Structure 1
């Protein structure tokens, strides 16, 4: 297998450009640190809260338009068992940003939080916050693995380069500039990366549509007698629960990602944070259009007319690599190199954000508040950098052994959707939520999700919901079990919190049983409210006397 030398040179040049921009942005970050009045570590984590709307839209869109989004959408449209109706990424992410702007941006930004976990720390304390960090961290590592696996598979096809080498090279570049410049490096490299993705993928569309091996995609909307697959797909009533579950997972699960709030919290104001979310909703949807077209073209192609030959990719088990395969065999070679560049850009634009989000949560919510309360700013900045390195290495390690990009993409948001999202909804929008409800909701969400099984990890289900099926010895749930776990968690948090408040505040339960001290502060606050007017009355009386 001969390496595609011109393609490899082009990709290396692109990587060098990104690295130079990242290093330049890191110098800008250091200048901001000198003039920033607040904590210097906040410059690395939230950019000193002065990222403008345009840069914010670019970096927010680029974070979501990763390898999983681009390749997963194309895979779903191409797959004969799915089709466009199962390509949930573009509409789901549009909904995600709209909801984020409407219900989450203002309460988070107006209180000047630094990370997504800050509201939990202020209300529930350090121990429970540390518990929430674990699923968030696992999800980030899975996301890194997903996008690196996507890139490795693509480079091995188009450049005929070792997948492992591609993964290592891409991870190294992302880690280096995130390590050096924090959010400034991430944001400014995202501008270049997203621009490159937009130009290169949209440029591929006319060449794909005009390829002699491709049937007009308007004629392959439905199944026909020429063995050409439909790319629209169909949604049977029996599959509706599974479809709704996956759609809600992508649409709502993204609201529990620290990467989202890192951009919201870096805005100069709450209004600017909302505008950023609304604008990103449109751009992220537009960025999914090329993947949809590529999937439709691949489903409409006669692969026997290409050097790939028969059987087609789906029958060879290569549906997950359909985007690079289509670029390799249905477009000119120079254009396929641009395509690999766009995917490399997508991977790095997502990976750097995920690395920084995990590092920020650990530094701000664990190291600074629990492990080393007296840590200096220089020490915190070092912890951020070490955390970036460790998360990057962990994700890179998992990326070496993965075949289904789409499955890992879904799995990365699973824990956040079932466990973290209910907690975030309640801590921001339900003042009654307390530590007793939070712990109960955490246990219920995690338990219901775990008992439902996970085919990707080989975990058999102990809870079988209506409509389940067994195929090739693997049980698949067609009931919206993830959404059920999420809703049960929300209901549990609110119900247990209300019961605990009723018991302790109305003295139905002895105050000595408040082992977690959830109602001690409330009593102290009530005592202060009583004592202050008394002091005022005494002072007035003394004056009169």
Structure 2
């Protein structure tokens, strides 16, 4: 009986599709290994440290490669499948496909307000400005939400791939997740940013070609009605794929949109590409160009979600009830490819999802490893660490983050839920901190700590279904169904704004209090204002003292 079951399993596997995916993975792995050798050559000729070359590519990534790798990082499995899921879901629709317009605005804001301040000061990671302003301890605390967000992001994109491969190739979802994670971890482990950037070029090109190639076959499927007609016919039907935003859900819509726009500005993966550019102007151009390409890459997912919502699933081998009623809305993209297109087209589709997953996963792995190595290990744990030691720390960090994200990917949660949750912590906690440390010169450690605590408390007390955290704060308009509370108020944005206001208010009040001696100097437990006062004294030239010695002392 075991052998019969084994034969059935083998027959169920899509052998041609499996071979095509294996070939694609081998190509990506070969390119990653080649790029790692290029990285080693750069190490011999570049004046920068080896660890810096691994993390920011020696700051010589050109604009074209930069646009490719930045776009590929955001166009991941969560972006592709989450967008299709949002369009297909009867209670949502196109108006809820927030990814493409949100990331368009996010990249524009990054180019206008964040690229130049970060790149001009030659930072290595997003946490460097915090380390310079607040010291090592607070930076280590700030790493925690950033690391948690990256692990959730890895889980999101791997979960997207597992569902797709199991649907189209007949492979076990767990096996698909493990193999894809192993490939991404391997070439990121070997080559750092160079391997990530050059594999992103191939991956993004494949995603673009294969996704757009699938669209005509989906549109011409006998089971799919004309989209314009289905929109008119479904104007009174909740299944209209165009969707609408009810007044009661306006707060949820605004909250998720702002989370994607502003939360996207607080990822190390973004700044890794900005900081790898040769100049500040080049970093800005990369952001502006990526805004357009990321938006374009989201259009096929919107169309696929609309096609799936307009399809008569009874005319396909899938049958009735439709995917949403079976609880399979999260898998709508692979379902549409599998049942509405020829086999060879669906194989191309799974290839595009696999490419999207690896192009995002490698970036996330390297970003977490870079922050831990640069801002924790190098500056706090082992200040005398050699370059060889730092490179091995980066590799070990890549492996650990990859394993953590892979473990979470085995859950059954919605890809879209993972996608949104991965941005929660960076939006509520890190984004207001980043705005203040870059653009508010009066920000200090006291304000930063208060803002961190306020943002974290408000977010946690608002509850989270995925983590089984009950809502202790019930905002106006909340509803409860089957014991689960849904917050219709934009509670994430409230937490972010509260954190931002808290940082500014506490920083200003304490600055005024200490500088005007309204608060005893002995109460400055962190030595924030005492250090500033000493620094100001050092800047005053002493008669007969060489100014060069003063500058040298400060540096």
> 1:238 aligned to 238, 242, 248, which one?
248
Q: Map of 1:449-488 to 2, 5 A cutoff?
A: 449-488=459-498
The answer on whether the counterparts of 1:220 and 1:229 sit within 8 Å (CA) in structure 2 is no
- Residue 4 (1) aligns with residue 17 (2): no
Q: Map of 1:8-407 to 2, 5 A cutoff?
A: 8-224=18-234, 229-407=239-417
Residue by residue over 1:161-198, the C-alpha shift from the partner in whole angstroms, topping out at 9 and shown as x without a partner, is 00000000000000000000000000000000000000
Residue by residue over 1:375-413, the C-alpha shift from the partner in whole angstroms, topping out at 9 and shown as x without a partner, is 000000000000000000010011011330000100000
Give 3-state SS (helix, strand or coil) of 1:221's partner.
Answer: helix
The answer on whether the counterparts of 1:228 and 1:300 sit within 8 Å (CA) in structure 2 is no
What is the deviation of 1:472? 2.2
What is the deviation of 1:507? 1.2
Unaligned runs of 5+ in 1: 538-545
Give 3-state SS (helix, strand or coil) of 2:123's partner.
Answer: coil
Aligned partners of 2:92, 2:302: CA distance in 1, in Å? 13
The answer on whether the counterparts of 1:213 and 1:302 sit within 8 Å (CA) in structure 2 is yes
TM-score normalised to structure 2 length: 0.95
> 2:515 aligned to 486, 491, 505, which one?
505
What is the deviation of 1:223? 4.8
The answer on whether the counterparts of 1:7 and 1:337 sit within 8 Å (CA) in structure 2 is yes
Give 3-state SS (helix, strand or coil) of 1:519's partner.
Answer: helix
| Count of aligned pairs | 537
Give 3-state SS (helix, strand or coil) of 1:220's partner.
Answer: helix
Residue by residue over 1:304-331, the C-alpha shift from the partner in whole angstroms, topping out at 9 and shown as x without a partner, is 1100000000000000000000000000
Structure 1 pair 94–226 and aligned structure 2 pair: CA distance change class (3 A): closer
The answer on whether the counterparts of 1:437 and 1:494 sit within 8 Å (CA) in structure 2 is yes
Give 3-state SS (helix, strand or coil) of 1:455's partner.
Answer: coil
Aligned partners of 2:262, 2:240: CA distance in 1, in Å? 29
The answer on whether the counterparts of 2:91 and 2:239 sit within 8 Å (CA) in structure 1 is no
Structure 1 pair 303–395 and aligned structure 2 pair: CA distance change class (3 A): same
Give 3-state SS (helix, strand or coil) of 1:287's partner.
Answer: helix
The answer on whether the counterparts of 2:90 and 2:238 sit within 8 Å (CA) in structure 1 is no
What is the deviation of 1:39? 1.4
Residue by residue over 1:254-293, the C-alpha shift from the partner in whole angstroms, topping out at 9 and shown as x without a partner, is 1000000000000000000000000000000000000000
Aligned partners of 1:134, 1:27: CA distance in 2, in Å? 32
What is the alpha-carbon root mean square deviation over aligned residues? 1.4
Q: Map of 1:508-519 to 2, 5 A cutoff?
A: 508-519=518-529
What is the deviation of 1:222? 4.2
What is the deviation of 1:527? 1.2
Give 3-state SS (helix, strand or coil) of 2:339's partner.
Answer: helix
Structure 1 pair 15–511 and aligned structure 2 pair: CA distance change class (3 A): same
What is the deviation of 1:236? 1.3
Aligned partners of 1:227, 1:127: CA distance in 2, in Å? 55
The answer on whether the counterparts of 1:71 and 1:321 sit within 8 Å (CA) in structure 2 is yes
The answer on whether the counterparts of 2:91 and 2:238 sit within 8 Å (CA) in structure 1 is no
What is the deviation of 1:531? 4.2
What is the deviation of 1:501? 0.6
What is the deviation of 1:220? 1.6
Aligned partners of 1:526, 1:181: CA distance in 2, in Å? 44
Aligned partners of 1:262, 1:533: CA distance in 2, in Å? 45
Aligned partners of 2:497, 2:423: CA distance in 1, in Å? 16
Aligned partners of 2:91, 2:275: CA distance in 1, in Å? 41
Aligned partners of 1:307, 1:535: CA distance in 2, in Å? 87
What is the deviation of 1:506? 1.2
The answer on whether the counterparts of 1:222 and 1:232 sit within 8 Å (CA) in structure 2 is no
Aligned partners of 1:478, 1:336: CA distance in 2, in Å? 38
Deviates more, 1:64-73 or 1:500-509: 500-509
Aligned partners of 1:341, 1:530: CA distance in 2, in Å? 64
The answer on whether the counterparts of 2:63 and 2:286 sit within 8 Å (CA) in structure 1 is yes
What is the deviation of 1:534? 7.5
Structure 1 pair 312–227 and aligned structure 2 pair: CA distance change class (3 A): farther
What is the deviation of 1:457? 1.5
Give 3-state SS (helix, strand or coil) of 2:485's partner.
Answer: strand
Quote the residue 2:531 is aligned against: 521
Aligned partners of 2:543, 2:506: CA distance in 1, in Å? 34
Residue by residue over 1:452-499, the C-alpha shift from the partner in whole angstroms, topping out at 9 and shown as x without a partner, is 111222211111111111122211001111001000100000000011
